Amino acid sequence: MFREPLLTLNRSLSGLEEKTGRFDAHTVHYLEGGQGETVLLLHGIFAEKDHWVDFARRLTGHYHVIAPDLPGYGESSRHAGQRYDYATQTERLRQFMDSLGIARAHIAGNSMGGTIAALFAIRYPERVASLAFIGAPHGIRSETASEMDRLIEAGQAPLVARNAGEFDAMMKLVFADRPFLPYPILQAAERDAIANAGSNRRMWDEQLKDRYLLHYLLQEHVGRVAVPSLALWGGRDKVFDVSGAQTLKGLLPHVDLRILPRMGHLPMMEDPKETARFYADFLHRTPPGKPGR
């Protein structure tokens, strides 16, 4: 009952408003605000656009910021007969940019979103002004197994919650220190996760087939990702162990790698002010590109 007013207020404080578009048989909800070069913010698996709102508050004064619910997630439509694997979602990102008339953008993503951003940079380098991983990307082999790796090897799907207990366990896994979340928003997130558990498991299994896709593609396309790149990796990440940060550095030597020692897998939610400061400094150092739209 109180979720929507809270979301609307928080978006407004960040200079964002909700909009909708349609392409590839999907209705896509997204947040947009600010002026300047375009910055696209891509969420992770089973996440959504509003996870970026507090982070985006530090950007909309200088940049044109867009945060979509990727097709299949959040308020955007999900269809049983459609695929939501990385190759398909990368093409959908191109369609989304085309639908908004965005020729080139700074693209940042968390987890799944970071991987989609990197795959897009490999496939369409002329359309990416910079690449940023806000939290570890999915698909890098780590020297040390993470807590989630151990759960996967035990046959579990730790990011798929079928009940309140599994939802709480998932929250403990993705955050090092859980940020304050208003009860109506937390309650709605738990309800939606449980209601979508069946189709979430299908999407989880689809991604598990591409478990190390980014690692192999960066090896195969060494030097292909030539745009300025940033990686912010939580030192207390239980989803993807921090040892993977040095692996990423080996695969992407020019990346500006920063370890955030206090943070877990979702730094843009755990400390949006500090995380956005690192990203804004990176953007400030990145030479201006061609107009975004």
CA atoms in the 13 A half-sphere facing the CB of 257: 19
Neighbouring residues of 117: CB distance < 8 A, sequence distance ≥ 6 = 40, 42, 107, 108, 109, 128, 131, 132, 133
Which superfamily does 3-145+212-285 belong to? Alpha/Beta hydrolase fold, catalytic domain (3.40.50.1820)
Report the alpha-carbon distance of residue 97 to residue 23 in Å, rounded. 11
**Which residues of the chain form beta strands (DSSP E)?**
17-23, 26-33, 38-42, 64-68, 105-111, 128-137, 229-234, 256-260
pLDDT tens per residue across span 198-242: 999 999 999 999 999 999 999 998 678 899 999 999 999 999 999
Neighbouring residues of 242: CB distance < 8 A, sequence distance ≥ 6 = 136, 142, 233, 234, 235, 236, 259
Lowest-confidence range among 5-9, 51-55, 69-73, 154-158?
5-9
Provide the CA 68 distance to its chain's centre, in angstroms.
10
The strand pair at 105-111 and 17-23 is best described as: unpaired
Question: Are the C-beta atoms of 151 and 166 separated by less than 8 Å?
Answer: no
37: amino acid identity, one letter: E
Please state, as a whole number, how many other Cβ atoms lie within 10 Å of the Cβ of residue 126.
Answer: 11
Amino acid 14: pLDDT = 96
Using DSSP, state whether 224 is helix, strand or coil.
Answer: coil
| Cα→Cα distances 136→5, 113, 181, 209, 235, Å | 31, 10, 22, 19, 10
Domain ranges of the chain: 3-145+212-285
What are the structure tokens assigned to 97, written together?
Answer: 């940019």
65 phi, psi to nearest 5 deg: -105, 135
Q: What is the mean pLDDT of the chain?
A: 94
Report the alpha-carbon distance of residue 75 to residue 272 in Å, rounded. 22
- What confidence tier does 289 reach under pLDDT thresholds 50, 70, 90? low
67 phi, psi to nearest 5 deg: -130, 105
The pLDDT of residue 23 is above 50: yes
Mean pLDDT of 31-37: 97
What are the structure tokens assigned to 80, written together?
Answer: 């049983």
Neighbouring residues of 76: CB distance < 8 A, sequence distance ≥ 6 = 26, 27, 28, 29, 68, 69, 70
The pTM of the full predicted model, rounded to 2 decimals, is: 0.95
pLDDT tens per residue across span 45-73: 999 999 999 999 999 999 999 999 999 99
